[in-house]
Amino acid sequence: MKPRQTKSGNRLSRWANLLACVLACFWTAEGYRVCHADDGIEFFETKIRPVLIEHCYKCHSAESKELRGELRLDLKAGWQLGGESGVPSIVPGNADESPLIRAMRHDDDASAMPPSQPRLPDVIVDDFVAWVQMGAPDSRDGEVKRPDKVADWETTFQDRLDWWSLKPVSSPVVPDVQQNKWPRNDVDRFILARLESAGLSPVPEADRRTLVRRLSFALTGLPPEPELVTRFEADDSPQAWDDLCTVLLDSPHFGERWARHWMDVVHYSDTHGYEWDVPAKNAWRYRDYLIRSFNSDLPYPQFVMEQIAGDLLEPRIDQATGLNESLTAPMMLRLGERRHGDNADVEGVGQEAVANMIDTLGKAFLGTTLACAQCHDHKLDAVEQRDYYSVAGMLMSTRFSARSVDAVDPNESVISQLREIKRQLRKELARLWLDATATDRSGGVVDKIKAIAADGNSATAFPTSLAEFWKRSLSSPMTAEEFLQERERRIAANQKNLTLLADFTKNEASGGWRWEGFGMQHGLVRDGEFVITDEGDAALLHVLPAGRFSHVWSQRLAGSVQSPQFDPTSPVTFSIEFAAGRFASLSFILDRAINPERLTFPSRPLPGWQTLTSGNFSTLEGTPDKASRRVYLELATKSLNNYFPARVNYGGVKEEELADARSWFGVTRVYQHAPGQVPLDELSRFQPLFDELQGEEDWSLRLTMLLRTTVERWSAGECSEEDVRLLNDALNLKLLPNEIASDEEISRLVEEYRTAEKTLQPDRTIGSVAEWNEGRDERLGIRGSYTEFGDEVDRGHVRFLGEQPERETPSSSGRLAWVRQVVDHRNPLTARVYVNRVWHYLFGEGLVRTPDDFGHLGEAPTHPELLDYLADRFMQDGWSTKKLIRLLVTSSTWRQASVPDPKAVEIDPENRLWHHLPMRRLEAEAIRDAMLAVSGRLDRTLFGPAIEPFRTAEDAQKRLFKGPLDGDGRRSVYLEMTLMEPPRFLAIFNQPIPKQTVGRRDVSNVPDQALALLNDPFVIAMSKHWSDRLLTDGTSSPEHRIQGMLESAMARTPEPEEIASLLQLTRHSAELRGAAGELLECQIAWQDAAHVIFNMKEFLYVR
Amino acid sequence: MFDRVIRNDRTLTQETSRREFLRSSSMGFGWLAFAGLANPLIAGAAPESQWASPQSTLNFAPRAKRVIFLFMDGGVSHVDSFDPKPELTSLHGQPAKWKPDPLSQSVSAGRKWLGSPWKFQQHGESGLWVSDLFPKAAKVIDDLCVIRSLTGESPLHGAQSLLMHTGRSIAAAPSMGSWISYGLGQENEQLPGYVLLNNDWIPNGGFQNFASSFLPATHQATLVRAKGTPVDNITAADPASVQRAKLDFLREQDSAFARTQGDSDAIESSIRNYETAAQMQTVVPGLCDVSGETAETQKLYGVDRDNDFDKFYALQCLRARRLVEAGVRFIEITCPSTHANNSPWDQHGALRLRHAENARITDQPVAALIIDLKRRGLLDETLVVWAGEMGRTPHSSGDDGRDHHVSGYTIWMAGGGIRGGMTFGATDEMGMSAVENRLNIHDIHATILHQLGLDHERLTFRFGGRDMRLTDVHGRVIHEILT
């Protein structure tokens, strides 16, 4: 690398030479203009043009296959006009300011030219500099016509709409066929017609046992139970196959199998990956939702609408669980890799999440690569860049909040029971407290006050508590004037300074603030309500002012409060009075972040003011789009906090605290005010102290009387907010008895309360979405940029789906209107894409072999008419997945044998015409589940939280712990899908990494799989489990046992030589292992037999 | 894997039988072989002959046959290691202000310059500067090309780690090791082409860093652990005789099954996998076992060191050399995380203590690797890359920690046709921004591929309708650092 000085030195000296030359011309002829002989054109022709031709024309001329950066360098007008930046590439006379020269010098990385190559030799660069300095003479005349992008795109767009998958679904005529006996239904006629025209025939039907096994795996992902095989084999009725389908379609395991397919499409994971692999908030409830949805054959449009806009639909309630299914479904949008932090920490966090959602929405539901249009109009499909930002606007107008999904409140009766106990307790406590505040009571409040010692500070600060007033009285008792003056100052200041933003003492919080959760629902209280402790020696936790508190009945009930969106252009200062404990969080949520790192976990046992400023994010200052930030405030208990548990150690939360369901907070009011002018304690509760002052007062008596009258009001249910403060003050000072032990009746009531409280059912929550009618359009990101913007784009409109659907309200996100358009039968994609997925899962390949892409980059359907027939029929049949599956598996096409006719293979090697039903390797989950089932270890329980997968090494920092080796016998669908480390055994067999839609799994065939099957402890454990069971099977001979084993593993009757062969291995194994005695009793030999069966290809493949 | 390749070039099915194709794919069919099949102009490229002279169809004459990537994850501080900044030292403690760089944080409030606590000295004939943090690297400095101007995309571990490994900071893309394994094919069919020598810490970004993504699965990294059993399931669950009996039984049964299925290729391929797997059980533990190395060699690497972190890192470095000899194409060694909750070099605090600790763990084995490769004549054909996913800020809000930094940081390369004893690129006088020969990771990737004889613009795989590249649409070969 030459040092810079030398380079510029060269440049200078060359420039000097040229200057001399030019000057010479100037002075010797009539003038510069006429100096043709050496006006630089020759220099251009000899030094510049050849270089341009050699190094630049490939991408920057009329001959370029694709004109890069819209820059032409084969005409003078080309560099004058410049490229897409719109800036001329050369500033004649100023090399340093000329982008072309800068690019040649590699001054800026991004635009270094020629691209991906070293700089051109210095001597060439110097020539160019000289040429520019002399005014860039250029003889190449001609006009550059800028393409009219808008008009061109419109033509292109219209052309692209003319594409098979965007045309309406037709109702094709079922073709005639020659082999009339073969078809069982219309599917077969479509298939056979094509086979016949290719001169091919379908292969014969597979044998019955093969068919049962095939159907069982296809519908439930499990091997058939032996009785089912025998029953079907013995059933000669024409209905037998249909009946078998019914049994398996009705099996609860059907939902597990088909939910797992859908989980590939939406890339289901239980965590969010990246650095900390934080949990995806209770995602498993969504997995259970999927299982229920498939089992109940939820019509597909409803299924789609719930996942995209379930929060906006009438709740659909599952009767068995009482869950609001539609509100559970939008977890779909949130699945995938999601960073922690927000756009104010690192620009792009939010945009990346949205990009992933758009990618999934496009591929999963529309078979369209929408996300390709983030940076530019789609290269091949009818997707505009505007479409991308239109969907982005819709998603960014949605809040990604945790939600309570209980459709019905299971706690009403317990709460009325608790209410009654509280009523009695209030009476009992009042009795005790009045006794304690009796002025003649020895050891009562009077004595306790007297025992409070003075300290040095008493005289300086204005007293705000019982203790401080007492201490003050010991040095210089306060006068009424002094008190009143201060009180009035405070009242006046509050009146002047504060504007009420939200009032949680009312049924509807004002100002658009909202709450969620059972805790909040039952948490609206009047002044003087109190909270009973759920453990320990104290009876009361505290007394509450009017407001909404999640823990009024129990700390296990959930709550959240959200503010409306703040105006990002003018930050608001406000104070919120709240109390909180046990890791309830307070956080600003910026740009819809789901794992915000702004959480604080305030521990605030009594309500107090906290002053906050919206939009006070220093890292946003000076960014170009501060005004577009979306900011709101959220308070939430653990279970309604998206980001709980947060990453390990965040906010000082100890890992052992995570499982504790208790968490609480409550809010009274929110005031807006100027910075510094915070709400002041008005001290009205102390006013009576200064009524009728006599001179020489007994302050202990006065304070006691003050407390006593307060207790009297509390007892009568008539106390005020100020009274509440005084009571809490007294409780803190232990002036009022609050020990359970102090009174038998109180002890009994508190115990009763605690017992009943434990029967309350906490909210079932999940990460979902919410709609606040605060929709706003997104701006188009120039070339996908996060910081350079074009116009705002109308949200909720993907153009190829038709006219913009009308939003429910102008300010809604547009999700509901959009999803209605998606599932409208006039949109041809939704049904086509889905029936193709179902076909793919049943047949191993789709009719369209790129199930996630029906665009120009995907494959065309092998049987377009059949695809349309199925889509049409699917819609006619009420979009029933089960009917569709039944139609397909009852076809003769699906019942073909798996071995192809060699002649057919020659003509159609990829089996695009379906001349046989190809053998397939079982999916990862089916391999594992089959081992569980055959060994007898399978636990058929449905639903529930994810089971940690088995691991050899743990990583506590990412909460990757070691689960049970056999997953407690549960099916693979219940194993925890951590993004950081999904179950390894499943990954080896191509369970996809859940980051993006995978409609079609890889099927690899690598030695790792052999190693796993030979040596993985899970496989060995299942072999052992099976063999242990076999030892007690009461079999009469090893042959019988082997026959039984092969029958249950392969669902067929083994040949005698197979039995002999496995028997030989079993004996051989017993010998090799030195096991003596009866073979039937030799556990290890049978374990070896079981192990080889698990390794047999016939076990691992389905024919 | 098979399906995918077939789908990706339909001409293939016409030109070669599925069977033949499959045989090659089970051995880790390389892109060059693929190119040879797909392109009749590349003569004599039958798959079986590929392994004899894989370079015969390379884009360029290769300078290196394989790569060792020493991943210093978390981000080594460039201003404390190979990029001395006297000006920074002299302004130590002063409020920090810097010229805006789109890649560095814009707010400087409360930040102070933090001079390096380590001393820099010139070393070797080249007189390159190395700090006291890396005394052993200093001894081999004449073999190293110190690149001081690498930049990233965003100051996040996960994103940067993926970027470094796959050329993309988000979404799934194949690891560079997978690309190289795919591009060159396997030298040794008993071993995978891409091995990850892990030290019980999975870098941010997870296994995605080492995954083959859309490339055939055979090119994903095989993970070799430092402690305990080196490879998943590599230890035979059965005594050899029993396993042999099982394998024989399975071969017989499965072959019969394959026949009932019309000689299924998939089954036959799967049967062969069992034989490879059986060989791996023997070969891999042997390769991982360094007890046969001379005492001198073991000591050179520091396998004898007391501390587990030190010992195991040394072990992995020594294994790397053995894998190089055995013909593995791409070997990556990751760092151990000595302290929970931090990626190894991520010292926002306790910089002095933990940077020194990490250096203690890695410096000696890494230098030993250079020395050992060189004395065996392997350094010339082995490209060694030492890099973290980021550097660390020259400024700090405390006095013993540095934060994430991607606007200009240091890595080094050695061997494989890279010029030793030179520096390339520069940051400004405070070490904030790369100001000379600013590079990005695509340039490093392009250069690595180039040294292996692969043109980063031609090493492609058709996926999702695009010809995908490791370097996406970027990358330039850094010719200035080549011999």
Smallest Cβ–Cβ distance between A1005 and the set B266, B440, B479 belongs to B266
Query: Are A937 and A1027 in contact, with CB atoms under 8 Å apart?
Result: no
What are the beta bridge partners of residue B392? Answer: B404
CA-based nearest distance A167→chain B, Å:
22
CA A772 to chain centre: 19
Give per-residue pLDDT as tens, A571-586.
889 999 999 999 999 9
- Give the whole-angstrom CA distance, residue A816 versus residue A822: 10
The confidence score (pLDDT) of residue A578 equals: 98
- Tokens 């800068």 found at: A102
Which pLDDT belongs to residue B189? 75
CA distances in angstroms from B320 to A429, B279, B328, B344, B360, listed in the order given: 75, 19, 9, 20, 19
Q: Which of A1068, A1098, A1097 is nearest to A1085 (CA)?
A: A1068
For A299, other C-beta atoms within 10 Å of its C-beta total 17
Q: Which of A1, A1088, A1097 sits opposite B254 (nearest CB)?
A: A1097
**DSSP code of residue A630:** -
**Which token pair is A264?**
């590939």
| Calpha distance B392→B398 (Å, rounded) | 14
Q: What is the pLDDT of residue A292?
A: 98
Shortest CA gap A899–chain B (Å): 5
Tell me if A618 and B107 make a contact (CB, 8 A cut-off). Answer: yes
Q: Under a CB-based contact definition with an 8 Å cutoff, are residues B249 and A1065 in contact? A: yes
pLDDT of residue A109: 65
Please give the pLDDT value at position A621: 53
- For the residues of A678-719, what is the DSSP string, one character each? ------GGGGGGGTT--SS--HHHHHHHHHHHHHHHHHTT--
- Residue with the two structure tokens 């080889």: A1092
Which residues on chain B are in Cβ contact (under 8 Å) with A1017?
A: 237
Query: Residue A142's pLDDT is what?
Result: 83
Rg (CA), chain B: 23
Cβ distance B440 to A109 less than 8 Å, yes or no, reads yes
Closest listed residue to residue A1066, CA positions, set A1087, A1048, A1046, A1094: A1087
As a three-state string, the secondary structure of chain B is: CHHHHHHHCCHHHHHCCHHHHHHHHHCCCCHHHHHHHHCCCCCCCCHHHHCCCHHHHCCCCCCCCEEEEEECCCCCCHHHCCCCCHHHHHCCCCECCCCCCCCCCCCCCCCEECCCCCCEEEECCCCEEEECCCHHHHHCHHHEEEEEEEECCCCCHHHHHHHHHHCCCCCCCCCHHHHHHHHHCCCCCCCCCEEEEECCCCCCCHHHHHCCCCCCHHHCCEEEECCCCCCCCCCCCCCHHHHHHHHHHHHHHHHHHHHHCCCCHHHHHHHHHHHHHHHHHHHHHHHHCCCCCCHHHHHHHCCCCCCHHHHHHHHHHHHHHHHHHHCCCEEEEECCCCCCCCCCCCCCCCHHHHHHHHHHHHHHHHHHHHHHHHHCCCHHHEEEEEECCCEECCEECCCCCCCEECCCEEEEEECCCECCCEEECEECCCCCCEEECCEEHHHHHHHHHHHCCCCCCCCEEEECCEEEECCCCCCCCCHHHEC
Q: What is the pLDDT of residue A34?
A: 33
Which two tokens mark B284? 């891999």
pLDDT digits (tens, 9 = 90+) for A969-981: 999 999 999 988 8
Query: Cβ(A925)–Cβ(A973) under 8 Å?
Result: yes
Give, to the nearest 10 degrees, the angle between helix A828-843 and helix A881-889: 50
B464 neighbourhood in chain A, CB within 8 Å: 369, 853, 857
Contact status, residue B43 vs residue B392, Cβ threshold 8 Å: no
A952·B2 Cβ contact <8 A? no
* pLDDT given for residue B8 in this prediction: 30
- Measured torsion, CA atoms of residues B21, B24, B25, B26, in degrees rounded to the nearest 10: 130
> How high is the pLDDT of residue A458?
55
Chain A (1020-1079) residues lying within 8 Å, Cβ to Cβ, of chain B? 1020, 1058, 1061-1062, 1065, 1068-1069, 1072-1073
pLDDT reported for residue B28: 39
Going A488 to A490 to A491 to A497, the CA torsion angle's sign is positive
CA atoms within 13 A on the CB side of A828: 17
Q: How far apart are CA A385 and CA A407, in angstroms?
A: 40
Which chain B residue lies closest to A858 (C-alpha atoms)?
Answer: B465
**Rounded to an integer, what distance in angstroms lies between the CA atom of residue B237 and that of residue B95?**
62
Q: What pLDDT score was predicted for residue A885?
A: 98
What is the pLDDT at residue A4? 39
Give the long-range contacts of residues A446-453, CB within 8 A, separation 24 or more: A446/A700, A446/A701, A446/A704, A448/A733, A448/A734, A448/A735, A449/A699, A449/A700, A449/A703, A449/A704, A449/A735, A450/A700, A452/A733
Nearest alpha carbon to residue A362 among A321, A390, A322, A326: A390
Q: What pLDDT, on the 0 to 100 scale, is given for residue A910?
A: 86
Residue of B253, B259, B260, B422 for testing the chain A interface, max A β-carbons within 10 Å = B253
Tokens 């699945």 sit on residue:
A335
Residues of chain A with pLDDT under 50: 1-37
Dist. CA A621–CA A960, nearest whole Å: 38
Q: Which residues 563-622 on chain A approach chain B with CB closer than 8 angstroms? A: 618-619, 621-622
The one-letter amino acid code at A837 reads R
271-310 of A, contacting B, C-beta below 8 A: 273-275, 277
Q: Residue B50's pLDDT band (boundaries 50, 70, 90)? A: very low
CA atoms of B337 and A1044, how far apart (whole Å): 51
Higher pLDDT, B8 or B223: B223
CB atoms within 10 A of CB A267: 24
- What's the token pair of residue A331? 């977890």
A893 CB burial (10 A radius; 0-12, 13-18, 19+): buried
Rounded CA separation A60/A739 (Å): 87
pLDDT digits (tens, 9 = 90+) for A436-488: 999 888 889 999 999 988 776 655 689 999 999 999 888 888 899 999 999 99
Closest CA to A955 of A978, A971, A935: A978
Flag whether pLDDT at B66 surpasses 90.
Answer: yes
Is residue A783 classed as helix, strand or coil in its secondary structure?
helix
In three-state secondary structure terms, A243 is helix
pLDDT at A691: 87
Angle between helices A412-436 and A744-757 (to 10 degrees): 160
pLDDT at position B55 is 37
Please give the structure tokens belonging to residue B321: 């050399």
Question: Which tokens hold the place of A51?
Answer: 């270089």
Query: Which one of B14, B160, B249, B477 would you mutate to disrupt binding with A, by most A Cβ within 10 Å of its Cβ?
Result: B249
Q: Please report the pLDDT score of residue A134 as a whole number.
A: 87
d(CA A419, CA A438): 28
Amino acid identity for residue B97 in this structure: K
pTM: 0.80
Return d(Cα A1071, Cα A1076) in angstroms, integer. Answer: 8
pLDDT value for A81: 84
Which of A277-281, B25-29, B68-72 is predicted least confidently? Answer: B25-29
Q: What's the gap in Å between the CA of B372 and the closest CA on chain A?
A: 31
Q: What is the average pLDDT across B237-260?
A: 94
Q: Is A450 exposed, middle or buried (0-12, 13-18, 19+ CB in 10 A)?
A: middle
pLDDT tier at B147, thresholds 50, 70, 90: very high
Domains of chain B with bracketed CATH? 66-234+291-481 (3.40.720.10)
Min Cα distance B186 → chain A (Å) is: 14
B259: which 2 tokens?
A: 């026949």
Question: How much is the pLDDT for A698?
Answer: 87
